[in-house]
Structure 1
């Protein structure tokens, strides 16, 4: 039990990154998915505050509360699209963990690293459920930022991806990304292209990690048997979401209640419906990721089936990773203890 007289443990970004290196994030997010499925973990409704920064770019703050295996907490993740032009990270945030008995905060840690790590871990856990990662030898990247790099780092650590074809709306950002990748991961061949279609058509797996709010990838671009990781949620066009042979989401309730992303708007218009339910003229989502990761997805995936993985983002994964980080920090007696 912890009360307000006990110091609060603070973990800065470098410490969080060091502690995360001791954890298998795919194991943690899979455990969290199965915990939600079994009722041991859960997410609460998210809260979003959106505004326009003085330079006219979009800014927002998201608060994602969750519980995982007896631990309670929340992620606060903020972002401003104008930060890229300022030479700053697009997103920054904090994760707070609470004492189960007193509800007192026990730990506050830098959240951007965990947020990027859990996003990539969810993608890879889902991808691993539909094909062995060792067979993923080529990947198309739409967007050349932190998320793309975090995904590649996790894949490279598992011996996957031998070549990358990258597209970014900013050619200079794509070139800088490619140059840095050649230096830090020389075992991966990388090329950049001027059009996203060239990237998507040439790879069995596409990773979309952009900031777009306008869909631009049609179903015709996706090769047979390919996987489209729709991480940024709005890259895939309507016919991709409605026409791909398999469509997976992380949490249907979160997806369907959101009116800012395409799949949520399709759900609210009655054109997409939850796994296990049918409605006239609606595309039924095939399964949630907990079903996929538990091995209970019953539909056959053929060699030519196109798959879309549409992870809205669940705060339970951030809390699950943060819980592991906090436990490791306590065992190592690391971090800064702050008086209340």
Structure 2
């Protein structure tokens, strides 16, 4: 991202962002950004979190995630309330601000919800692609039927062209039914089944994408079939037995795990029951096998067997948001999209 001598500040709304990301190669971009992170050509700064309880009793929070990738610098502000679904609103919404690399002045503000969802799904699929033959995946389960599920399905359509069956579970059966109907219409060749219990979905699937808002772990090791891959996108779907007992455990960044005192993997790390990549495993726990940058760069040398269970637990790296947002902004500039704002 180059400097802007005209000192323009551009705003991209949700419609702009959706249009500009329509055919963006997000999975490949996520892959390249993880490799850049491994080479120290991209990086993070400590995130800040503000948490509160809304008047209706729902947990709410605001996260600020600074990051840089190449010559692109900025931060994501992503807010969420667990009560939003009762209002017919997405759980999360936010903004991304990009800075001029020379002057440090803001040059673009864009709607961040779509980019946050896209980068999350991009990282998930880039990681799955590193451990499995995605062309051979036939059955996929989704735990949770919100925006993250929709965007993961959107990217999976290109990454896993052989998918024949989707299994959906949501605590709100009506929402699961609505999503299933929409997905059947979008891809009539794929069978979409709503299940009554999450175990019914996980046990049938080769790949499970957990995108819920739960803070209570519940998916046990024996739910995941031999050869299954469990992507723990959301907070705490994976139970201790699954995190400690799977054959391969990958995270995006070990420091993010250690610093987190809300999610189970962070709690286990802070208690000394899970150690970082390359460290000795405690007698009553395990070591994380590798971080995703190491996995994708070929630095992980253990073979992932066809019958082995894999857990991918990405905490979410702000550097990915900046990389995607920078690509969107470059497209916007080339196409003349966006609203110029007065400073």
TM-score range (shorter-chain normalised) is over 0.9
Alignment of 1:64 with 2:78, yes or no, is: no
- Post-superposition CA distance 1:189-247 (Å, at most 9, x none): 10111111111111111110000000011101110010000000300000111110000
8 Å CA contact 2:137, 2:206 repeated in 1: yes
Q: Which residue of 2 aligns with 1:32?
A: 33
Q: Give, in whole Å, the separation in 2 of the partners of 1:17 and 1:24.
A: 14
1:138-167 CA-partner distances (Å, limit 9, x unpaired): 101111111111111111133242210111
Query: In the alignment, what sits opposite 2:295?
Result: 292
Provide the aligned length of Structure 1 versus Structure 2: 339
**How far apart are 1:187 and its partner, in Å?**
2.2
Please state how far the C-alpha of 1:279 moved relative to its aligned partner. Answer: 4.6
1:229 match? 231
SS in 2 for 1:27: helix
| Equivalent residue in structure 2 for 1:239, among 233, 238, 241 | 241
1:29-76 CA deviation, whole Å, 9 max, x = no partner?
111111111011001111111111111011110100001001110000
Task: Give the match's secondary structure for 1:75.
Answer: strand
Task: Report if the CA contact (8 A) 1:233-1:311 is conserved.
Answer: no
Equivalent residues of 2:167, 2:193 under 8 A apart = yes
Question: Is the partner of 2:295 in helix, strand or coil?
Answer: helix
Q: Is 2:325 the counterpart of 1:322?
A: yes
Equivalent in 177, 180, 183 of residue 179 of structure 2: 177
1:22 deviates by: 3.3
CA distance, structure 2, for counterparts of residue 334 and residue 214 of structure 1: 43
Residue 313 of structure 2: aligned partner:
310
Mapped partners of 1:147, 1:280: distance in 2: 34
Say whether residues 1:153 and 2:158 are aligned partners: no
Deviation at 1:266, TM superposition (A): 0.2
Q: 1:279 to 1:130 in 2, by over 3 A?
A: closer
Q: Is 1:202–2:204 an aligned residue pair? A: yes
**2:126 is equivalent to residue 125 of structure 1:** yes
Runs of 4+ displaced beyond 4 Å: none
Query: Quick one: structure 1 residues 22 and 171, their matched pair in 2 at CA, closer, same or farther if it must change by over 3 Å?
Result: closer
Deviation, 1:305, is 0.6
1:280 maps to 282
Q: Gaps spanning 5+ residues in structure 1: where? A: none
Aligned to 1:82: 83
The whole-number CA distance in structure 2 between the counterparts of 1:18 and 1:295 is: 34
1:47 pairs with 2:48:
yes
**In 2, are the aligned partners of 1:6 and 1:339 still within 8 Å (CA)?**
no
| Aligned counterpart, 1:163 | 165
- Contact 1:141/1:207, CA 8 A, preserved across alignment: yes
Cα distance in 1, alignment partners of residues 189 and 25 from structure 2: 22
Say whether the 8 Å CA contact 1:93–1:111 is kept in structure 2: yes
- TM-score, normalising length from structure 1? 0.97
Give the match's secondary structure for 2:87. coil
**Could you tell me whether the CA contact under 8 Å between 2:139 and 2:166 is conserved in 1?**
yes
User: Separation in 2 of the partners of 1:116 and 1:323?
Assistant: 15
Question: 2:97 is paired with a residue of what secondary structure?
Answer: strand
Deviation of the 1:2 alpha carbon: 4.0
> 1:81-128 deviations in whole A, cap 9, x for unaligned?
111011111111000000111110000000000000001010100001
The alpha carbon displacement at 1:280 in A equals: 3.2
Question: What is the correspondence of 1:6-21 to structure 2 with a 5 Å cutoff?
Answer: 6-21=7-22
Quote the residue 2:342 is aligned against.
Answer: 339
* 2:123 counterpart of 1:137: no
Q: After the TM superposition, which of the residue ranges 227-236 and 177-186 deviates more from structure 2?
A: 177-186
C-alpha distance 97-160 of structure 1, shift in aligned 2 (>3 A): farther
Match of 2:191 in 1: 189
**2:116 corresponds to:** 115
Alignment partners' CA distance in 2, 1:64 and 1:74? 5
Determine helix, strand or coil for the equivalent of 1:16. helix
Q: Tell me the SS of whatever aligns to 2:30.
A: helix
